[in-house]
Amino acid sequence: MPRWSVSLVLSGLFLTGSASSSAADTIRVKFDVTVGITEGALEDIFGVPVRTGDVVRGSFTIDSKAVDTNPGNPDFGRYLTTGNFLRMDLGTGLTLPVGSWQVSDATSSCSPNPLCVDTLNTVALSHDFPGFDIVGAIVFLSAPPASRQGDRLPQSPAELAAYTLGNFVFEGRRVNLPRVTEEMRGTLRVRDVSTDPTPEPSTLLLVGMGAAGLASRRRRARTGGN
């Protein structure tokens, strides 16, 4: 498995921007990670020990309407997102914000090499976990080059289903101890893909007004319509 490190990809992968997902359909991906390597005291983060061979479940979301900030390169797209997250359902659980997604298309840049794959990857991290400078995770998904064309971010569960396998890296770096890390690496398998529609602000307002109207009618009925 490639030796990715959260600290090595911060400048290249994790970006924040003003993109908004408030009115977009959010794709939710559930995954399983089969742990291959562990290092350090992961129990300090999750409250439970993590061992080789364990299966860790989690999920992440993708804003399917995010804008490509690298439009000049048809083989590589970088999509800034806000409101997206990666969740690890392990012990006490952990939720990390996702700053951007990267999509690469191997069709034109690597074909006909059979080892080439299309990729979808991200870094999710936080600087706010007590006792740690950085707590973060890397998701690296791959798909056969013939499965899709271009660097467009997947727009539906059907498109994202092409990325069936990948790798997962989790790392925590302690405050003032840059060489002390708590680490987990494993293979990632996509378990389920679905769409979570995010209501428009106007829709939420209408729902609130409707609820208020029903409450008002009930009060009037109880008081005889006065």
Question: Residues 19-34: pLDDT tens digits?
Answer: 444 444 789 999 999 9
Tokens 């494993």 — which residue?
A: 186
Residue recorded with tokens 């409250």: 47
pLDDT(219) > 60: no
Does residue 181 sit in helix, strand or coil? strand
Give 67: exposed, middle or buried? Use CB within 10 Å, 0-12, 13-18, 19+. Answer: middle
Task: Report which of 101, 89, 97, 90 is spatially closest to residue 62, judged by C-alpha positions.
Answer: 101
Question: Is the Cβ–Cβ distance between 143 and 122 less than 8 Å?
Answer: no
Q: How many CB atoms lie within 10 A of CB 30?
A: 15
Please report the pLDDT score of residue 147 as a whole number. 66
Q: Which CA distances in Å does 93 have to 5, 47, 87?
A: 21, 9, 7
Q: What is the mean pLDDT of the chain?
A: 77
d(CA 16, CA 209): 34
> How many whole angstroms separate alpha carbon 36 and alpha carbon 96?
22
Q: What pTM did the predictor assign?
A: 0.74
Please name the residues in contact with 224: beta carbons below 8 A apart, sequence gap of 6 or more.
Answer: none
Q: pLDDT value at position 160? A: 85
Secondary structure (3-state) at 164: coil
pLDDT, tens only, 153-182? 888 888 888 887 899 999 999 887 766 789
Q: Which residues contact 158 (CB under 8 A, 6 or more apart)?
A: none
Domain boundary assignment for the chain: 6-197
CA–CA separation, 58 and 56 (whole Å): 7
Reduced DSSP (H G I as helix, E B as strand, rest coil) percent helix, strand, coil of the chain, to 5 = 20, 45, 35
Taking residues 193-216, what's their average pLDDT? 50
Integer Cα distance of 86 and 95 in angstroms: 6
Residue 162: the pLDDT is 84
